Structure 1
């Protein structure tokens, strides 16, 4: 009988999965990164055979910013995977990423990840947990209560909203409440929650045009200073920074007023 996974093994597994997502980004321009990705796809709970120096060399050689994310604290999103090795291998390339520093050039390709649905808007959605079968689906005009986590996928995978950051900063934010379609949330989340049921979990890959506005008026906003700083550093950068976001959403409640 398999032994239960320890917290240390769980952290190592999450880091391995994060490295796989970085490898997927590297596939845009570096064929050799396939071998790196395969080296990171060992059995769950086992550290991959890539040390920090190897990661740094790979990222420097490819000139692609990858993801080295912090482990999730036990919460509603525990066990949510980023991308599997097969998903990285079978990713599809879409249009060029919107990066001002690469205008007029053959820039970085946008990736469509396996197991994600690509919506006409450009939003990519993965159903992690469908939620309660007897619950109503969120629709335009409904009020919803959500919990969330956010990462900058291709800029070191910096977390800007996680339980870890909240714990370090000693903050306990309330769940986010909003009316679907009222224009207060970033378009990627407003669109993505539609069709979700209570207790459901979805994972979104949000392109820049469906993300945060330059005026910083749209929510949800990071609950910690460090998270806000990490997000602002990426969103305010006008150069070679990929602003694609990875956001996990847990739907707690749907109601009408």
Structure 2
């Protein structure tokens, strides 16, 4: 019985220590950001970059998942996301990276960002136009009138929007990000291929642009291109880095060129 009573106390003490550590990270701005390229498969050029935050390398709060879990449980989610976004925007502009910057925000941060002059304050220091930022709204649980209103206000300011599932907000110009779990070894799975094909068709009908995540196999990339997936990201195309790739490797460009010529020959034959 004593052990059962001690365990919750120890967990609470451990969490308290993590929160103290997180507050120190926020105060000293001890976050770093990396960028993973997203490529337009038809144009074979960079569409933009998704930013990922990192805590100190030797910290139990190194990964984005660890940081966000503790921050949101401690009521510090918006503060963490705002700092990470600010650092990413500064690095994106200073590094003169091409295309658009994709930033994954939680529901509370999206609502906060759409209110008052929050968007101008976030972008103003670096002088980045709203149209160069894409707000990633991920998670099926994210819904509701306040969130939809916030997304509409951000769209009115020319911010791009990205979602992980089709829905009423996936309209002309918005992006549909297809999770890596749907993509891995898709070339070897006819059933999953049919599901992906249907998803791409639905996205296109709603006016969305599709982005495949987690592409690691050239055979998957070739199939995605054949099916009409417009954009992709993943280790095959470029790993997250402070100095990310700005163009496709020759081998990947060759896969896309071969796939396209094959489609053209098939259409002509």
Shared fold, TM over 0.5? no
Using the size of structure 1 for normalisation, the TM-score is: 0.25
Using the size of structure 2 for normalisation, the TM-score is: 0.24
Q: Which has more radius of gyration?
A: 2
Structure of greater relative contact order (alpha carbons < 8 Å, 6+ residues apart) = 1
